[in-house]
Amino acid sequence: MKTLSEADQARIAQAVAEAEKTTAGEIFCVLAPEVGDDRQPPLIWAFGAALLLPAIALVAGFRPEMLTRLFGGWTVGHAAAHDAAILSALLTYAALQAATFVVAALILAIPPVRRALSPASAKAARVRQAAMDYFLAKDLHLTRDRTGVLIFAALAEHRVEVIADEGIYALAPNAVWDAVVADLTAGLKRGAIADGFVAAVARTGAILAAHVPPRPGDSNELPDSLTVLPR
């Protein structure tokens, strides 16, 4: 993950502070190197490889007894020993399946490979759930008039979530939040994480200012600084 310098993080915090001067709403930014650790798809692929690859090898002409001969085993010379030969072939086939599973599981445990095989829908749902969990954990739903907005980026999954609480979500059209997502995504694609957050914060501030102007007695209910989650 490209790390953010202290100067970049300060820029984002300053952007939040400036945006909140024009509104009674609250903006909270989170950067996650990776969300969750979905092991199910890799295991499914490993099981599939263990089941299919040895079977494909049989169709292609491979026979388990070939391994026995390869490693110096005895060949069967009379009919009475056929049962032992069959058992040996079955055990060899089972060992081949087990070895295939282990090798496939090790390859699929590599994070880039695992992420590549994880369905896009599963990654989207995982990031969405993580963002919602963080929204609730940081009490964004408890702000005055419920006008908190979470801007959440998951780098490994290449996903962005913007969650607006019901107090502002009911006032602003859905399309404006798509624009916030587009601003952040554009910065992330260029590798300019701070620029993406600053642009998204500025647009969010404009949305909030248009619908939730400052009020007497307003206080800063949430930290302005960017929260960077651990791996």
Query: Tokens for 144?
Result: 């005055």
Q: What is the pLDDT of residue 145?
A: 87
Are both 109 and 139 inside the same structural domain?
no
Query: Tokens for 180?
Result: 């916030």
Q: What is the mean pLDDT of residues 144-162?
A: 93
CA distance 227 to 13: 10
State which of 90, 116, 142 marks the end of a domain. Answer: 116
Q: What is the pLDDT of residue 132?
A: 94
Are both 103 and 129 inside the same structural domain?
no
- Residue 57's CB is within 10 A of a number of other CB atoms, namely 16
Q: Please provide the average confidence, as pLDDT, over all residues in the chain.
A: 80
How many helices and strands (H and E) does the chain possess?
A: 9, 4
Sign of the dihedral defined by the CA atoms of residues 183, 133, 208, 169, in that order: positive
Are both 82 and 101 inside the same structural domain?
yes
The domain containing residue 13 runs over which residues? 6-37+119-228
State which of 66, 91, 116 marks the end of a domain. Answer: 116
Is residue 148 situated within a structural domain? Answer: yes
Is residue 189 situated within a structural domain? Answer: yes
pTM above 0.75, yes or no: no
218/204: higher pLDDT: 204
Is residue 202 situated within a structural domain? Answer: yes
Is residue 1 situated within a structural domain? Answer: no
Are both 22 and 134 inside the same structural domain?
yes
- Written as one letter, the residue type at 150 is L
Are both 127 and 203 inside the same structural domain?
yes
Q: Which of 41-50, 131-140, 161-170, 183-192 has the lowest mean pLDDT?
A: 41-50
Is residue 183 situated within a structural domain? Answer: yes
Are both 23 and 66 inside the same structural domain?
no
Q: What is the pLDDT of residue 173?
A: 86
Are both 58 and 134 inside the same structural domain?
no
Are both 103 and 139 inside the same structural domain?
no
Helix or strand run (H / E) with residue 149: strand 148-154
Q: What is the mean pLDDT of residues 90-101?
A: 66
95/197: higher pLDDT: 197
Instruction: Answer for the pair 129, 136: CB distance below 8 angstroms, yes or no.
Output: no
Largest CA distance in the chain: 99
Q: What is the pLDDT of residue 148?
A: 94
Q: What is the pLDDT of residue 164?
A: 94
What CATH number is attached to the domain comprising 183?
Answer: 3.10.310.50
Are both 213 and 193 inside the same structural domain?
yes
Judged by DSSP in three states, 39 sits in coil
151/99: higher pLDDT: 151
Are both 213 and 156 inside the same structural domain?
yes
| Residues of the chain above pLDDT 70, percent | 63
Is residue 157 situated within a structural domain? Answer: yes
State which of 62, 81, 116 marks the end of a domain. Answer: 116
Q: Which long-range contacts (CB under 8 A, 24 or more apart) does 114-123 make?
A: 114/38, 114/39, 114/41, 114/42, 115/156, 115/157, 117/41, 117/42, 117/45, 118/38, 118/41, 119/41, 122/38, 122/41, 123/38, 123/157, 123/159
- Given a cut of 50, whether residue 71 has pLDDT beyond it is no
Q: What is the mean pLDDT of residues 59-65?
A: 58
Q: What is the pLDDT of residue 34?
A: 86
Phi-psi region for residue 5, left (φ > 0), alpha (ψ -120 to 50) or beta? Answer: beta
Are both 126 and 223 inside the same structural domain?
yes
Residues 6+ apart with CB under 8 A from 175: none
Is residue 138 situated within a structural domain? Answer: yes
Are both 24 and 50 inside the same structural domain?
no
Q: What is the pLDDT of residue 230?
A: 86
Give the pLDDT band (50/70/90) at residue 60: low
- Given a cut of 70, whether residue 155 has pLDDT beyond it is yes
- Given a cut of 60, whether residue 138 has pLDDT beyond it is yes
CA distance 2 to 191: 8
- Given a cut of 70, whether residue 8 has pLDDT beyond it is yes
Quote the number of domains for the chain: 2
Query: Tokens for 208?
Result: 């909030």
Query: Tokens for 93?
Result: 């086939």
Alpha helices in 21-81 (DSSP H): 40-59, 65-70
Is residue 175 situated within a structural domain? Answer: yes
